[in-house]
Amino acid sequence: MSTKARRLLLTILVAAVVLANTATSAAAHPETPGLSGHYRIGDDHQGSSWSPVAHADAGTVRTVAGNGTVRSTDSSWNSPADAVGLGDVGPDGSYYVAEPQRHVVSKISPDGTRTVVAGTGEAGSSGDGGPARAARLDGPKAVAVGHDGTLYIADDRRVRRVGPDGIISTYVGSVAENGIGSSRASDITPLDVAVDRRGSLYIADASGNRIIKVAPDRRATIVAGEGASDSEPADVISSEPRALAVADDGSLYFVDRDARGFHAVRRLGPQGRASVVTGTDARSARLSAPTDVAVAPDGTLYVADAGNHRVQAIGSPGRNSIAATLSVAVRGPGSVDVRPDGSLLVGTSDRVIRSVEGGKITTFADLSPDDAAAPRAADFAVGLVTSADVDPMTGELYFVDLDSKLRRIDRAGRVHTVDLAPPEAPFSVQAVAVGVDGTPYVARTDAVWKLPKNSTPVLVAGRGAAPVTTGKLARAVSLRPYAIEMSPDGTLYIADAAGVLRVEEDGRLTVALKQANAQRYRIAPARDGVVYVADTDRHRVDRYDRYGKRTHVAGNGADSYAYHGGDRGDGNAATKAPLPDPGDITVAEDGTLYVSTAEDIRRVDPDGTIDTVFVNVDDESTNATFGPVVMLEMSGNGDLYFGQLGRIAVMARPGEISTASWYPLAWAVGAGLLFAAACPLYKSPTHRNDPILL
């Protein structure tokens, strides 16, 4: 071989190595140890240009939430159900409120000064016989104030007492200790407490489905529910009593709710006669998820009607009126109390205590925690994320876990449970989508709701009786949605048991695709009425235009890679490649599709070529097995979020990945070998007597 030939061969081989390295650098990167869950801000901090992997190479994968170890999620953090505990007004007009998340009871003076009167802030049940502020409480649910200023606290499985001297003790640990025989359930789970004018304490006991009265001599009797001596009070509670209030005449009012949708406020008169005051079984106004009751000195009964976002006032004649319709900057009243001047204090699910006086609503105290107190996403236990979407205005991620709660990961990498102000309790979320203006939408079992910031949820679709047909008002039909998605131009799509539905601008439905099998399709809407549908039964992806015309996009119908000898078909036409059991689908702004299967994530380029950008592997750094990808979501800046068992991860700009990194090397090496093989046929031009083959 001549010198020039050898030099040319060397040049080709070097070029091959360079090309191979370039392609490899653009291929999917493994996990980056030490960076999981940390957000990095790009040069432009505004809108969707923000990214948690702004400076990472294309294909870099980082975990943004969870660590692969699946455990019970911290469902209590910022949960609307107990964001603010039940409170009571003291003799001096101060308001005492239980704070379950902080494990304290706070006193808020009439001037708004807030001080902790019981609890250290650490969960526990210690400190009896000492100062209340040095004692540990365990998620206190409620507090009641006696006429002498004594506090009674509904703590975990006991009622604690804080005397006027500030010393704490266990007042009721079990009803067996207080005179009720051991033949009946003795343990208690207090949800609320109330004190009457004679100093008797009433306890709403969830574990026993009963209301217990403890006299000043600490003798206990069951006055309603299981174990009551009289038959009528014994049958008066359908499920757990939730909240209590005692009137000056000795009448006991309490909230009664069960899982079948029975929501009522009951009255137990001084003589033990029970009646329904308002609620499902009463002729008066219907209740939705009532959370608290309070009685004014004039006998007016106030009901925190959380599901209807209002406080009802029921006068002595039994006629209802709306005392406060909480629809401006407020969601879901969780507690209500009456001050000596007749004004109301209403605790809401955003951890704010509001004063309602003369129809005017003002903020009395803000108990919401600092964002810095929220758990870090990297430390947060993630189960199996079933739905997610990225806020196009901020880049923050909303997601739904197996516990059916909606959560948000902020740009500091902390997790917040989103206040939903449930129209009915419990408000379980099936899926989430975020509008182009950053407004979240959620699907529950029978409806889709819009969640405007600082306002009450708005029904978008469902809750009607009409069958799903094109042209019907979305709010007039009966739905069973399991997925929702928002198109880039702001059109809402619903994957329902009846098919794939599009909500038009006039609020009417268009059935884009009918289906017979529930939860068969996964959808990814694009602009101009186009929607991509992953069909789990047929193992393929199709494109449907606004008029219903179908175009085959990916998948050859095979339900396993084994039928192709393990070959995924990378680099070839997507319609010829296997796509077994597509789990989710998302589409980028340029039309690139990403589809998850049980084993990988596939990319379908606009030219119809398919490649693999991610393969499920165990994370060697944590020994975690994440399993199949069950959720995909594309951000506005080209990052791909995906969910696996125990984590949410993000891949930096997968559209820039060159997946076939071996092609340049194979081509260059093959060319080099071919050239080397041909070199013996050539002679160096310096040997002028040798023939030169052309």
Question: Of the ranges 57-66, 93-102, 225-234, 590-599, which one carries the lowest mean pLDDT score?
Answer: 225-234
Q: Of 424, 81, 419, give the one whose Cα is nearest residue 243.
A: 81
Which DSSP letter does residue 559 get? Answer: S
If you average pLDDT over residues 233-260, what whole number do you get? Answer: 80
Instruction: Report pLDDT digits (tens) over 30-79.
Output: 454 333 333 333 333 344 567 889 888 999 999 999 865 554 434 333 33
pLDDT of residue 137 exceeding 60 = yes
Highest mean pLDDT among 285-289, 514-518, 589-593, 596-600: 589-593
Confidence of residue 360 (pLDDT cuts 50, 70, 90): confident
Instruction: Report pLDDT digits (tens) over 364-386.
Output: 998 876 666 678 888 888 888 98
Rounded Cα–Cα distance for residues 160 and 127 (Å): 11
Question: Of the ranges 61-70, 205-214, 666-675, which one carries the lowest mean pLDDT score?
Answer: 666-675
Identify the pLDDT of residue 244.
95
pLDDT of residue 660 exceeding 60 = no
Identify the pLDDT of residue 258.
66
First to last CA, the chain: 16
Confidence of residue 183 (pLDDT cuts 50, 70, 90): very low
Cβ atoms of 135 and 127 within 8 Å: the answer is yes
Identify the pLDDT of residue 488.
93
Identify the pLDDT of residue 39.
38
pLDDT of residue 289 exceeding 60 = yes
With pLDDT > 70 as the criterion, what percentage of the chain qualifies? Answer: 73
Highest mean pLDDT among 98-102, 377-381, 640-644, 666-670: 640-644
Indicate the domain borders of the chain: 296-369, 380-652
Both tokens of 419, joined, read 């206040």
Rounded Cα–Cα distance for residues 649 and 655 (Å): 16
Instruction: Report pLDDT digits (tens) over 67-125.
Output: 655 544 343 333 343 457 899 999 989 999 999 888 999 999 998 899 999 999 888 99
- Other Cβ atoms less than 10 A from the Cβ of 110: the count is 14
Question: Of the ranges 84-88, 253-257, 656-660, which one carries the lowest mean pLDDT score?
Answer: 656-660
With pLDDT > 90 as the criterion, what percentage of the chain qualifies? Answer: 44
Identify the pLDDT of residue 332.
72
Amino acid identity of residue 6, one-letter, is R
pLDDT of residue 262 exceeding 60 = yes
Confidence of residue 602 (pLDDT cuts 50, 70, 90): very high
pLDDT of residue 423 exceeding 70 = no
H/E segment holding residue 673:
helix 662-678
| 5 exposure class (CB count in 10 Å sphere: 0-12, 13-18, 19+) | middle
Confidence of residue 627 (pLDDT cuts 50, 70, 90): confident
Confidence of residue 587 (pLDDT cuts 50, 70, 90): very high
Q: Of 540, 544, 521, give the one whose Cα is nearest residue 532.
A: 544
From residue 635, how far is each of 50, 392, 394, 438, 630 by CA, in Å? 10, 7, 11, 13, 17
Is the model more confident about 623 or about 579? 579
Rounded Cα–Cα distance for residues 533 and 513 (Å): 9
Question: Of the ranges 49-58, 171-180, 183-192, 282-291, which one carries the lowest mean pLDDT score?
Answer: 282-291
Identify the pLDDT of residue 421.
56
Rounded Cα–Cα distance for residues 340 and 294 (Å): 12
Identify the pLDDT of residue 320.
56
Cβ atoms of 291 and 334 within 8 Å: the answer is yes
Identify the pLDDT of residue 287.
77
If you average pLDDT over residues 624-636, what whole number do you get? Answer: 82
Cβ atoms of 183 and 150 within 8 Å: the answer is no
Is the model more confident about 175 or about 34? 175
Identify the pLDDT of residue 533.
94
If you average pLDDT over residues 574-601, what whole number do you get? Answer: 93
In whole numbers, what is the pLDDT of the chain averaged over residues?
Answer: 80
Q: Which contacts of 506-510 are long-range, i.e. CB under 8 A and separated by 24 or more positions?
A: 507/473, 507/474, 507/475, 508/470, 508/471, 508/472, 508/473, 508/474, 509/461, 509/468, 509/469, 509/470, 509/471, 509/472, 509/473, 509/474, 509/477, 510/470, 510/471
Identify the pLDDT of residue 100.
87
Identify the pLDDT of residue 6.
57
Instruction: Report pLDDT digits (tens) over 340-353.
Output: 888 999 998 778 89
In this structure, whether the domain defined by 380-652 belongs to CATH 2.130.10.10 is answered with yes
If you average pLDDT over residues 229-249, what whole number do you get? Answer: 75
If you average pLDDT over residues 156-168, what whole number do you get? Answer: 95
Instruction: Report pLDDT digits (tens) over 529-568.
Output: 999 999 988 999 999 999 999 999 999 999 888 765 678 9
**Torsion 546-549-551-555 (CA) sign:** positive
